[in-house]
């Protein structure tokens, strides 16, 4: 069912200008957290905390020890089984081509929480010939808190 | 080729709209610029920044943005352009190892993303987005954690498109995967879950459309439908330019997904961001305004 995002729930994080940069590397479907840096800057605002049960795509979620979602940010999936290809100059068109064994690095910026949290990466599985399903958690990492 | 083939010279806060802890910080790096070509690099960065400053909605959010230029020299000028992909065969020894023909794709210009991120983190610890300008006039670029683009006349558009993905989570709006003329299979009609991206929708229902506040009551929904889902809809827009509605064909599918305007930078380079994309960019950057 398609749902409306009109009922936005405000995220519950403390100091708004403390941020954690989480740096990941990936190869194929393996993702590794390779670094976390606590910095004084503004993280991207949270998307709605509720209403994503039947949504496709990619997002990150921060959860407290009880599993409650504290922050969500919808993003383009940084681990793509395809690449964007730009046509010859002048045509302006774009298309995609599949790649095998994608590998690389990416980072996310999340608000620093008072206590340790979990960061979940959620994505829709892409199965050729099948409709895109609702996103599911595929990796979870520990994030240090302020204290 | 790599970090022994040049050096990081330093960083300049090119656009200073205030405390980096409060603003949105764009970091620009260069690759394939020799020591003697640093003035050219500065010109190229200035040209991109000028383009960004006049691009909606960044024009109205400019006070939210700082821009940092990281000066990096390379041993050689340009980027590898392998003959295997139809290139010139040039081999350039550069700091970030810029090269075309990644995975055998002619226009796919990439750099060593990990090194670029590492330099950005060291030089501008509070950066939000990193871009690498590559010193070649051959058209190309790529996206991901770092946006990469060449100095061909239209290549800055690649940087803006990729920034839409990386920072703002915008979806591609082109209604095909491999191309309209390829006879692609499996992209006729989208039947999956509603995408989470703010600029595409699996419904044209006025009450559920993500960008519904931008749609005028008199606008018909769907605004344009594709009569033949086995192909992309090649018809011209049936409404005035800038009309916000629900246009069928988006995110790699000919039918079943809708975009907010007939055209958009996320559909085809060289166009403005559509209203739904501009709204998402504003929502993200607004908190950085003084």
Give A51-66 as a DSSP string: --TTEESEEEEEE-TT
Number of H helices and E strands in chain A, helices first, is 0, 10
Which of B20, B107, B144 lies closest to A85 in CB terms? B107
ipTM value for the complex = 0.94
| Closest chain A residue to the Cα of B201, Cα to Cα | A2
Q: pLDDT class for A131, splitting at 50, 70, 90?
A: confident
**pLDDT exceeds 70 at position A8:** no
Of B11, B77, B80, give the one whose Cα is nearest residue B40. Answer: B77
Closest chain B residue to the Cα of A123, Cα to Cα: B196
**Chain A residues closer than 8 Å to B177 by CB:** 82, 95-96
Do residue A42 and residue B21 have CB atoms under 8 angstroms apart? yes
| Interface subset of B 140-159, CB within 8 angstroms of A | 140-145, 152-155, 157-158
B171 interfaces chain A, CB cutoff of 8 Å: yes
Q: Å from A65 to nearest chain B CA? A: 25
Cβ pairs A/B, distance under 8 A: 161
Best CA proximity match to A98, nearest among B112, B40, B105, B154: B105
**Cβ-defined contact of A132 to B174 (cutoff 8 Å):** no
Question: Looking at the predicted structure, is the pLDDT value of residue B243 above 50?
Answer: yes
Work out the minimum CA distance from B22 to partner chain A, whole angstroms.
Answer: 6
- Cβ neighbours around A69 below 10 Å, total: 18
pLDDT the model gives residue A14: 52
Q: Residue B180 pLDDT > 80, yes or no?
A: yes
Identify whether the C-beta of residue B142 lies closer than 8 Å to the C-beta of residue B108. Answer: yes
What confidence category does residue B149 fall into, taking pLDDT thresholds of 50, 70 and 90?
very high
Cα–Cα distance for residue pair B1/B92, rounded to 1 Å = 9
- In whole numbers, what is the pLDDT of chain B averaged over residues? 96
* Range B15-51 burial, b when 16+ CB lie within 10 A, else e: bebeebebbbbbbbbbbbbbeebeeebbebbeebbee
**Confidence class for position A101, pLDDT limits 50, 70, 90:** confident
So what's the pLDDT on residue B278? 98
Instruction: Please report which confidence band the pLDDT of residue B242 belongs to, taking 50, 70 and 90 as the band edges.
Output: very high
The proportion of chain B whose per-residue pLDDT surpasses 70, expressed as a percent, equals 100
Q: Is residue A11 predicted with pLDDT exceeding 90?
A: no
Which residue from B minimizes the CA distance to A85? B108
State the angle between helix axes of B38-53 and B156-166 in degrees (0 to 180), rounded to the nearest 10: 60
Can you tell me the distance from the alpha carbon of B191 to that of B168, in angstroms, rounded to the nearest whole number? 25
Q: Which of A2, A58, A93, A44 is nearest to B202 (CA)?
A: A2
Q: Averaged over B190-214, what is the pLDDT?
A: 97
**pLDDT for residue B175 is more than 90:** yes
- What is the pLDDT at residue A3? 40
- List, for residues A28-87, the tens digit of each pLDDT value: 889 999 999 999 999 999 999 999 999 999 999 999 999 999 999 999 999 988 899 988
Please tell me the pTM assigned to this model.
Answer: 0.94
């Amino acid at each position: 069912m398609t749902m409306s995002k009109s009922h936005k729930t405000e995220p519950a994080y403390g100091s708004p200008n403390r941020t954690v940069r989480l740096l990941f590397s990936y190869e194929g479907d393996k993702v590794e957290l390779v670094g976390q840096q606590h910095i004084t800057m503004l993280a991207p605002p949270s998307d709605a905390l509720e209403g994503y049960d039947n949504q496709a795509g990619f997002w990150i979620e921060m959860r407290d020890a009880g599993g409650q979602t504290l922050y969500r940010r919808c993003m383009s999936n940084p681990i793509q089984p395809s690449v964007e290809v730009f046509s010859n100059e002048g045509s302006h068109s774009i298309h995609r081509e599949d790649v095998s064994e994608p590998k690389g690095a990416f980072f996310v910026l999340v608000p620093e929480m008072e206590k340790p949290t979990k960061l979940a990466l959620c994505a829709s599985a892409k199965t050729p010939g099948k409709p895109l399903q609702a996103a599911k958690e595929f990796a979870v990492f520990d994030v240090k808190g302020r204290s | 080729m790599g970090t022994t083939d040049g050096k990081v010279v330093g960083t300049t806060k090119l656009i200073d709209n205030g405390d980096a802890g409060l603003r949105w910080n764009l970091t620009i790096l260069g690759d394939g610029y020799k020591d003697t070509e640093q003035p050219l690099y500065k010109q190229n960065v200035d040209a991109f920044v000028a383009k960004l400053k006049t691009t909606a909605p960044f024009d109205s959010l400019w006070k939210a943005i700082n821009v940092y230029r990281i000066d990096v020299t390379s041993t050689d000028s340009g980027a590898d352009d392998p003959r295997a992909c139809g290139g010139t065969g040039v081999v350039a020894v550069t700091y970030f190892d810029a090269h075309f023909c990644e995975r055998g794709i002619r226009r796919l210009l990439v750099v060593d993303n990990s090194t670029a991120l590492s330099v950005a983190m060291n030089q501008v610890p509070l950066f939000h987005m990193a871009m690498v300008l590559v010193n070649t006039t051959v058209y190309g670029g790529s996206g991901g954690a770092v946006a990469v683009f060449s100095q061909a006349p239209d290549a800055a558009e690649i940087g803006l498109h990729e920034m839409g993905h990386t920072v703002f989570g915008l979806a591609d709006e082109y209604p095909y995967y491999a191309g309209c003329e390829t006879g692609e299979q499996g992209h006729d009609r989208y039947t999956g879950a509603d995408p989470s991206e703010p600029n595409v929708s699996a419904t044209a229902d006025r009450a559920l459309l993500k960008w519904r506040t931008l749609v005028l009551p008199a606008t018909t929904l769907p605004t344009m439908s594709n009569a033949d889902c086995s192909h992309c809809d090649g018809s011209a827009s049936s409404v005035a330019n800038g009309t916000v509605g629900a246009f069928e064909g988006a995110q790699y599918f000919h039918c079943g997904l809708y975009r907010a305007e007939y055209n958009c930078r996320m559909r085809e380079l060289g166009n403005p961001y559509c209203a739904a994309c501009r709204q998402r960019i504003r929502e993200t950057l607004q908190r950085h305004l003084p």
